[in-house]
Every structure is written in structure tokens, then in C-alpha cells.
Homo-oligomer: A and B are copies of this chain.
């Protein structure tokens, strides 16, 4: 094959893999998504309710659509990244019949019920639907380590996989139900906020004492690294409602939580987190669960 034939063949492959896509919503995240699609050579049409926000994408080679139906009609795959489920609903209503035969990839945050309602609306207009829960910040879009949890039909996910992988290298279809990736995302976030709040509370205590936080993180690294390894056994105990613990039972946690509470009060540091944890542990002890693992506290989260 000579050079000209090779160039021709490369051109054909590019043309073959090029898709017509639309991005609705050009906030920071939507703009990054449009940028990733453009960078991969896809014919990208963009729309934003305030049109000025489209300028960056247009400069990058995108076509600007004047209306939602125009944008939707231009894309086989329609990415939606706006603020809240109400804004998505409005877009789907404006799109109307243009949605038929398209695939909507909704990347808008919300609750699981909202994701399901959006999926129903899309299906009602004849569109296929995938929900994507993006787990990275804007500059992570397209990064090989960036995680996106998808929900939808396997066949739809597989068909659009090359496009979806442009959002992040660690995309996964976690369920057919579009509510599940939402639950995954908020579960990871809830664990993150728990961890960060615990750390910021500790940071308030340690810096009050003049301890350098970097030194603490270095010296406590083996203990901190072990914490994540507790989750599978806690999960197993919750899953099977088997909470009996030979060691590290709630009766052992109680005095330690009380120490943290007293230390916080001694130093004038916010005592609400240890006070809350102590109340959960004390209630479980009062209910006769002193010899149970910490996993027993799931009862308190289930029936507050």
C-alpha cells in the first residue's frame, strides 16, 4: 500500500467512525464534554439556553443550534448536562418529536427518582436512554482514570461505547435501571463527605495542638490505609444481617468515641460529629447490641 492509499484509507476510517452528536448544556461540564467529542473528530452540534456560552465550543469546531429541536435533530446521540432534573425535563419537552430514534445520554445530577422520571420521558418520545453519573471534576473529562457510572440497556451502552469512553476511561454500565448509577454516585460522595468531615475534625484537633498535618498523614499512613479494607466485611455483615463481633465490638467503640467527644470539648472544637456517633453507639448498646460489630448501626440509618 503506497502513501496515498494509506492516507485515503485512514480518511475512510475516520469518516466511518465519525458520529453526529449533540451537547445540550454548556456549563463547565457540558463544555468539557463538547470539547472531548470535538477533539475526537465527531460532528458536534451544541446548544445552551444562554447562547453566549456556546462560543468556546463553536471556536473549537462545533455547530451552534438555535433551538433545542434543531440541536436534537442534529445528533444521533444527545448528551444533556444541565443544572437539575427540571431543566432536563424542559429540554425533553421542547425537543418533542425530534427525540424519536435518538439516544439521550443524560449526565445531569439529581436523585434516582428524577433519573427514572427523565428516562420515562425520553422513552415516551421514542428515544433510547442512558444515565451517566460523572465522578470526576471538569479537567478529568477524557482522562483514562476518570470514572462514569452508566445506567441503561446493555445493547445501547455497547453500541455507543466508543463515544461514552471519551468521557472517561473508567466508564462502567452498573445497571439497566437509570436510578442505580445515581445511587452509586451519591454513595461514593456520601462516603467521601464522611471521610473528609472526619479528617477536617481531626485536623482541627491536631492543628490546635500544633501537630503538622503532613507529619500525621505520613506517620499514620498504615492505619489510614487500612480503613478502606474494613468496608468489604462491614458490607458482608450488613448484607447477611450477621453483626456478632468477637473483637472491636460496639462496647469497645463507646469509650473511644467518648474520648474524642471529651477531647473536642476540651479544645473548643465542634463536638457535633462525635456527639452524633456516640448517640448512635449508645442507642445500639441500650438495645442490647454491645457485642455487635459497628455494622449494627446500619439499623439506625434505615429506621431513624
Nearest CB of chain B from residue A215's CB, rounded to whole Å: 8
Contact residue among B191, B252, B257 (Cβ-Cβ distance under 8 Å from A195): B191
In the complex, the answer to whether B200 meets A183 with C-beta atoms within 8 Å is no
How many angstroms between the C-alpha atoms of A204 and B179 in the bound complex? 15
How many angstroms between the C-alpha atoms of A25 and B195 in the bound complex? 34
How many angstroms between the C-alpha atoms of A238 and B211 in the bound complex? 12
Stretch at the interface among A6-14, A65-73, A97-105, A295-303: A295-303
Contact residue among B147, B186, B224, B268 (Cβ-Cβ distance under 8 Å from A188): B224
Stretch at the interface among A36-44, A49-57, A259-267: A259-267
In the complex, the answer to whether A172 meets B301 with C-beta atoms within 8 Å is no
Contact residue among B109, B236, B269 (Cβ-Cβ distance under 8 Å from A259): B109
Given A193-B277, A225-B228, A298-B200: A184 and B256 interface contact (C-beta under 8 Å): no
In the complex, the answer to whether B217 meets A231 with C-beta atoms within 8 Å is yes
In the complex, the answer to whether B224 meets A191 with C-beta atoms within 8 Å is yes
In the complex, the answer to whether B197 meets A297 with C-beta atoms within 8 Å is yes
Contact residue among B227, B270, B272 (Cβ-Cβ distance under 8 Å from A191): B227
Q: Which of A113-143 contact B (CB under 8 A)?
A: 113, 135, 137-139
**This chain: copies in complex:** 2
A252 contact set on B, CB distance < 8 A: 137
Given A227-B195, A262-B111: A203 and B235 interface contact (C-beta under 8 Å): yes
* Secondary structure dominating the interface of A: helix
Contact residue among B147, B223, B231, B248 (Cβ-Cβ distance under 8 Å from A147): B223
How many angstroms between the C-alpha atoms of A276 and B206 in the bound complex? 22
Closest 6 CB pairs of A and B: A194-B198, A187-B202, A270-B304, A213-B235, A204-B301, A137-B247
**A186-B205, A195-B198 known; 16 other A-B pairs, CB under 8 Å?**
A28-B247, A109-B256, A137-B252, A183-B263, A186-B256, A187-B205, A187-B206, A188-B202, A188-B220, A190-B201, A193-B274, A200-B238, A207-B238, A207-B302, A268-B304, A276-B276
